[in-house]
C-alpha cells in the first residue's frame, strides 16, 4: 500500500492504541493531537513513538483522519476539522448508542463535515486488541461507508494492521457496528470475558 498521510484526533486509550499499531505495524506517516495542542496524552505518544504533533494544516492535508474522541466531543472535534475533504475514520462510540434514538457517531461526523468521506471502522474492537491482535484468530473490523473507494482504502489498512475487514455496507449501518462496540464493553465488564473479547464474522454455510 502506498504511504498515506494519517492523522489521529484523540490520543487517549483508543487513539493511543491506533497510533501505536500504525506506527509499529505500517510505514504510513503519522501525526496526532489531543484535545489541545501539547496535551499530555499526545506528548506521551510523541515521545514513545517518535511521531509529530499534528497542526490544523496537517489535518487538512491528511489522506486519512481518525476521529477517536468521546462521542460528546464529536461536534467540537468536527469544528476543528472544518474544511477537511479527505477520508475520516469514525471510531467514536456513544455510551448510549442504540438506546437514545440518536444517529450513529459516524453519521454525526458526516453531517458536521459534509466535504469529508466518512468511514466507520474499528468501533467494535477493544484498544487492547488493536495493540496486540493475538493469535487465536483474526478479529473482524466492520467497515461501513457510502463511498466504496474509501471503504477499500480503510479495509486495506485494517488488513495491514492484522485484522479481517468485513464489508459493513453503507454508512447507515454504522450504528449496528457501534452497538457491537458497546456490547463488547458489556461482555468484557459484566460477563467477565475481559478486554480482549473480540468478534469474528464468518460464513458458517
Ligand atoms: N477504549 C477502547 O477500547 C475503545 C474501543 C472502540 C471505540 N472507542 C471509542 O473511542 C473514543 C475514545 O475512547 P478512549 O477510550 O480513547 O477515551 P479516552 O481515553 O477518554 O480519550 C479521549 C481522547 O479524546 C481527546 N479529546 C476530547 N475532546 C476532544 C476534542 N474536542 N478534540 C480532540 N480531542 C479530544 C482527549 O484529549 P486529551 O487527552 O488531550 O484530554 C483524549 O485524548 C470513544 O468514543 C470510545 O467509545 C474506544
Chain segment 69-86, per-residue pLDDT in tens: 999 999 999 999 999 999
Range 38-43 average pLDDT: 98
**Opening angle at CA 148, ends 126 and 171, nearest 5:** 55
54, pLDDT greater than 90:
yes
Question: Ligand 1: does its nearest atom lie under 6 Å from the Cβ of 181?
Answer: yes
Q: Of all residues in the chain, what percent carry a pLDDT higher than 70?
A: 100
Segments making up each domain of the chain, as ranges: 5-189
Separation CA 65–CA 39 (nearest Å): 18
Q: Which fold has domain 5-189?
A: Rossmann fold (3.40.50)
Using one digit for the tens of pLDDT, what is the confidence trace for 151-187? 999 999 999 999 999 999 999 999 999 999 999 999 9
Q: Within a 10 A sphere around the Cβ of 9, how many other Cβ atoms?
A: 26
pLDDT tens column, 15-37? 999 999 999 999 999 999 999 99
Q: Given this model, what pLDDT does residue 3 score?
A: 96
Q: Using the mean position of ligand 1's atoms as its centre, give its distance from the Cα of residue 23 in Å.
A: 18
204 CA → ligand 1 middle, Å? 35
Where b means 16+ CB within 10 Å and e means fewer, 76-91 reads: ebbebbeebebbbbbb
Q: State yes or no: pLDDT of 124 exceeds 90.
A: yes
121 Cα–ligand 1 center, Å: 15
SS3 28: coil
Residue nearest atom 10 of ligand 1, based on CA coordinates: 92
Amino acid at each position: 500500500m502506498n504511504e498515506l498521510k494519517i492523522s489521529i484526533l484523540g490520543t487517549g486509550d483508543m487513539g493511543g492504541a491506533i497510533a501505536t499499531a500504525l506506527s509499529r505495524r505500517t510505514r504510513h506517516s503519522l501525526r496526532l493531537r489531543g484535545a489541545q495542542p501539547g496535551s499530555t496524552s499526545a506528548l506521551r505518544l510523541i515521545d514513545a513513538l517518535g511521531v509529530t504533533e499534528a497542526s490544523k494544516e496537517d489535518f487538512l492535508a491528511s489522506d486519512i483522519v481518525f476521529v477517536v474522541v468521546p462521542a460528546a466531543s464529536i461536534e467540537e472535534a468536527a469544528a476543528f476539522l472544518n474544511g477537511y475533504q479527505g477520508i475520516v475514520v469514525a471510531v467514536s462510540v456513544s455510551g448510549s448508542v442504540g438506546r437514545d434514538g440518536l444517529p450513529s457517531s459516524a453519521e454525526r461526523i458526516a453531517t458536521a463535515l459534509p466535504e469529508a468521506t466518512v468511514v466507520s471502522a474499528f468501533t467494535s474492537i477493544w484498544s487492547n486488541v488493536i495493540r496486540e491482535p493475538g493469535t487465536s484468530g483474526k478479529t473482524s473490523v466492520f467497515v461501513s461507508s457510502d463511498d466504496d473507494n474509501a471503504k477499500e482504502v480503510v479495509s486495506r489498512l485494517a488488513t495491514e494492521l492484522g485484522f479481517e475487514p468485513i464489508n459493513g455496507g453503507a454508512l447507515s449501518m454504522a450504528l449496528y457496528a457501534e452497538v457491537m462496540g458497546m456490547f463488547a464493553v458489556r461482555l468484557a465488564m459484566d460477563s467477565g470475558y475481559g478486554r480482549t473479547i473480540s468478534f469474528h464474522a464468518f460464513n458458517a454455510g
